[in-house]
Structure 1
Amino acid sequence: MSETTEVIKELLESINVDGNYRTESLELLEKGESRYLRDFKVNFNSTLSSEHLSAKEIGLIGVSIAINNQNKPLLAYYTSFSEANGASAEEIAEAVACASLLASNNVFYRFRHFTQKEKYTQIPARIRMQIMMKPVTGKEFFELLSLAVSAVNGCEMCVNAHEDSLIKLGTTEERIFDAVRIASLITATGKVIY
């Protein structure tokens, strides 16, 4: 077994996927004996720890980003990781709900931002967002989830609004940065394992 195949097998098994499973992306990386796979494995493993986020929070970010990116293997992994680190069914459901709500918000507010037309800011959004008022995970963490999803979806207006809210809530920039870093690496993982 080549070193490349061994790295793929170890990574897949670490996320509870059969070591022989292959996506088109994995096949191409394996065939080309890509050195990237070592970085890929290290990057994925770095999503599992943080000096600024608890393991439960990391898992819930993983759930939200996996839902956002429609990634079944990563959703299963981060759901299990969340549960193993104390997340309740309600908290996991809220991470799912956040991804869904932010999908609509990110499209809508990105449209408003792109068009730069005053008229569109005067028309009511008519998007129900009651979950944001009293989140099970707490206001600060729901804002952090919202920021991470918004960063992945590329909504500048949403990223700025959620980051501003987090700073006003007393969240450190290191905590914000780590949430986005983890979201970016989960997204990168999903380009290869899906």
Structure 2
Amino acid sequence: MNTVIENETYSNLLSLLKIENYTPSPAAATLLSTNARYIKDLKINVSNVLNNSQTLNKKEALLLAYSIAVNEKFPLLRESLATLATEAGATQEELAEVVSITSLMNVNNVFYRFRHFLEKDFYNNQPAGIKMSVMVNPVLGKELFELISLVVSSVNGCEMCVKSHEAKLIGTGTTENKIFEAVKLGAVIKGLITILAA
């Protein structure tokens, strides 16, 4: 495969994400300057998680991807995914809730990692004192709220949070297949950002 074909594949990836006027990051430029087969893998992986899920509908997939773009503070992808999610039926209230959930998980991920790392009774027995009203009657519904919480917590590496949100999902009837696909989506979008933003 030659560099011209790889560049076309990369252009197709950007088109899939509705990203325009993109100046390649140093990481992207490195791939584009060689016969980097990973560009094709990346495009296939992104397309599969956003468009070919057996368990997530299009809107759910795009909102999960949006949460990772918000979490990773990457405006270009955040804006394009917000547009795509809106086209798939997401409301401004739902997009705002994704931002709220992502922020709350960043709070909780730091706090509960601290508790888990130290495993001291004093810290574990103190009330968290963290306001979490967004968790009550989420506009996205409980399942998607928990899926976003789980995926963001997975990306942020909070073991306690991952276990807690996975248990809540299983307890309310979400299948392991859906959980698996949601986390895989988060992983792929995190990898995408590593190329586009680095």
Q: Give the structure-2-normalised TM-score.
A: 0.93
Alignment of 1:77-116 (within 5 A): 77-116=80-119
Secondary structure at the aligned position of 2:65 is classed as helix
Q: Of 57, 76, 79, which residue of structure 1 is paired with 2:79? A: 76
* Percent of matched pairs sharing the same residue: 41
Q: Report Cα offsets for 1:151-189 as digits up to 9, x if no partner.
A: 110100000000000011111101111110101101000
2:161 equivalent to 1:158: yes
Whole-Å separation in 1 of the counterparts to 2:142 and 2:96:
15
Distance 1:81 1:114 in 2: 38
CA distance in 2, matches of 1:54, 1:41: 19
Task: Write out aligned runs for 1:117-132 (5 A).
Answer: 117-132=120-135
Distance (Å, rounded) in 2 between the aligned partners of 1:131 and 1:113: 24
Match of 1:46 among 40, 45, 48: 48
Q: Which residue matches 1:167? A: 170
The match for 1:36 among 21, 35, 38 is 38
CA shift digits 1:14-52 (9 cap, x unpaired): 222236621111111112321111101111111212111
Which residue of structure 2 lines up, in the alignment, with residue 10 of structure 1? 12
- For the aligned residues, what is the CA RMSD? 1.3
Q: Which structure 1 residue ranges, 5 or more long, are not aligned?
A: none
The answer on whether the counterparts of 1:16 and 1:77 sit within 8 Å (CA) in structure 2 is yes
For the residue of structure 2 that corresponds to 1:22, the secondary structure is: coil
Q: Which 4+ residue blocks in structure 1 deviate beyond 6 angstroms?
A: none
**Quick one: structure 1 residues 118 and 28, their matched pair in 2 at CA, closer, same or farther if it must change by over 3 Å?**
same
Q: TM-score, normalised by structure 1?
A: 0.95
